[in-house]
Structure 1
Amino acid sequence: MFVIIICMAVVVFMPLLAKVPLALMMNREGKYDNRHPRSQQNRLEGLGARAKAAQENSFEAICFFAPTVLLVLALDAHTVYTVQLCIAFVGLRLVYLLCYWCDWHLARSIVWVAAMGTLVAHYVMLLS
């Protein structure tokens, strides 16, 4: 269960990791506009725009991962298999960020599907 909780923490804080290149690109624009950061982010292009999208997607991933993991924990259904699925989700989401930042759009889509597949596997396991 400890590893599952660590995975949950990593996913919850992943948007902060995704913020690092976004903040760097905002700084490159001349200055990080702390008064109007969202306006500044909306003007970014290239890596900056992709970093913003990656961060937003990281927030969205929490909405899929957290309920799935909380259901596994609430039903006391955690096994070695669920731990491996959680680790796989985290690893895939980290690769997903890299793919977003590097503009590897096809790889990013494949990694996204694989990560979502780990969540589907949780539900298949819970329902069997």
Structure 2
Amino acid sequence: MFGLSFGERFKALRKEKGLKQQELCDDFYKVSGRKLSKSSISQYEKNKRKPEINTLMDLADYFEVTVDYLLLGTYRDRFFAHNSSIHDYILYLSDLFFKNPDIPQREKDIVFKEICMIYFDSLGI
């Protein structure tokens, strides 16, 4: 999910759950008690608008990601939404960094920063 916009990330999360837009409306209401229209979902996915902060927080809870991930998309938050091993995360980032020549330099810099942060976190720095 490199360089994706909010709308692209939001749509990918909906599809990952196997939901159509109306199904997301219905399920989201059952889980959060917050109404979400199919039109709103469509506008979010097309990057025509972003949700209000309270809706954004409920969406993050619903998709089991952080608000930062929804808005900015960090590798760490997305990975740990589905995995828990720091070892696996480092291997995942290393593969992205070292084995994929199609990743733009900007993305490689982000991945390198993530690897460094994990390393320094492990040292307690």
Asked if these proteins are the same fold (TM beyond 0.5), I'd say no
Compare the two structures and name the one with the higher helix fraction.
1
State the structure with bigger RCO (CA 8 A, min sep 6), 1 or 2: 1
- State the TM-score, normalized to the length of structure 2: 0.30
